[in-house]
């Protein structure tokens, strides 16, 4: 299956179990891979035959910031649900949400969750 890939989308949001995270917020880095049949777009060179990555970014950003969640698992699910709902051409979506500044007393690059969701027939 062909894929539309968006890497390192940086979004500021207010997710977290700690009250401070919901008050002060922090940056999150998000990767989105949408499985889409791109064969028609490859032939036609027409935006209507694909899914606009600009629209994917706008909808994912909205879904991620519309509410404050305790868990980044829930925030990732909201992105997946929104993209599958809004774009019929997307057959499956993978979402990785990285939290590089998680309030954990340890030396680490980031913590993250990865989910994959598929359209059900």
Active site residues: 99
Q: CA-CA distance, 46 to 99, in Å (whole number)?
A: 36
| Cβ(94)–Cβ(36) below 8 Å | no
Q: CA-CA distance, 92 to 110, in Å (whole number)?
A: 25
Residues 6+ apart with CB under 8 A from 60: 6, 9, 30, 32, 79, 82, 83, 95
């Amino acid at each position: 299956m062909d894929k539309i890939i968006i890497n390192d989308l940086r979004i500021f949001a207010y997710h977290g179990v700690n009250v401070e995270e919901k008050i002060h917020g922090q940056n999150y880095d998000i990767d989105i891979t949408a499985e889409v049949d791109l064969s028609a777009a490859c032939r036609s060179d027409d935006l209507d035959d694909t899914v606009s990555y600009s629209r994917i970014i706008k909808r994912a950003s909205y879904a991620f910031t519309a509410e404050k969640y305790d868990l980044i698992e829930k925030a990732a699910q909201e992105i997946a649900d929104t993209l599958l709902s809004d774009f019929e051409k997307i057959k499956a979506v993978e979402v990785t949400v990285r939290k590089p500044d998680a309030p954990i007393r340890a030396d680490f690059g980031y913590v993250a969750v990865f989910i994959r969701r598929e359209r059900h027939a």
